[in-house]
Chain A
Amino acid sequence: QKEVEQNSGPLSVPEGAIASLNCTYSDRVSQSFFWYRQYSGKSPELIMSIYSNGDKEDGRFTAQLNKASQYVSLLIRDSQPSDSATYLCAVNMLKAGGTSYGKLTFGQGTILTVHP
Chain B
Amino acid sequence: DGGITQSPKYLFRKEGQNVTLSCEQNLNHDAMYWYRQDPGQGLRLIYYSQIVNDFQKGDIAEGYSVSREKKESFPLTVTSAQKNPTAFYLCASSPTRGYEQFFGPGTRLTVL
Binding site for B on A (CB under 8 A): 32, 34, 42-46, 49, 88, 90, 92, 100-104, 106-109
Contacts and interface: CB of A to CB of B under 8 A. Distances in A.
Contacts, number: 48
Contact of A88 (B33, B43, B98, B105): B43
A34 B106 CA distance: 20
Nearest to B91: A43
Interface string B26-62: 0000010100000001110100101000001010000
A6 B99 CA distance: 20
A2 to B, nearest CB: 10
Contacts of B31: 102
Question: Which of B48, B103, B104, B106: most chain A Cβ within 10 A?
Answer: B103
B41 A46 contact: no
Given A43-B90, A102-B56, A103-B33, A108 B97 contact: no
Question: Which of A44, A46, A102, A109: most chain B Cβ within 10 A?
Answer: A102
B98 A32 contact: yes
Given A102-B56, A108-B41, A92 B102 contact: no
B35 to A, nearest CB: 8
Nearest to A44: B103
Contacts of B90: 43-44
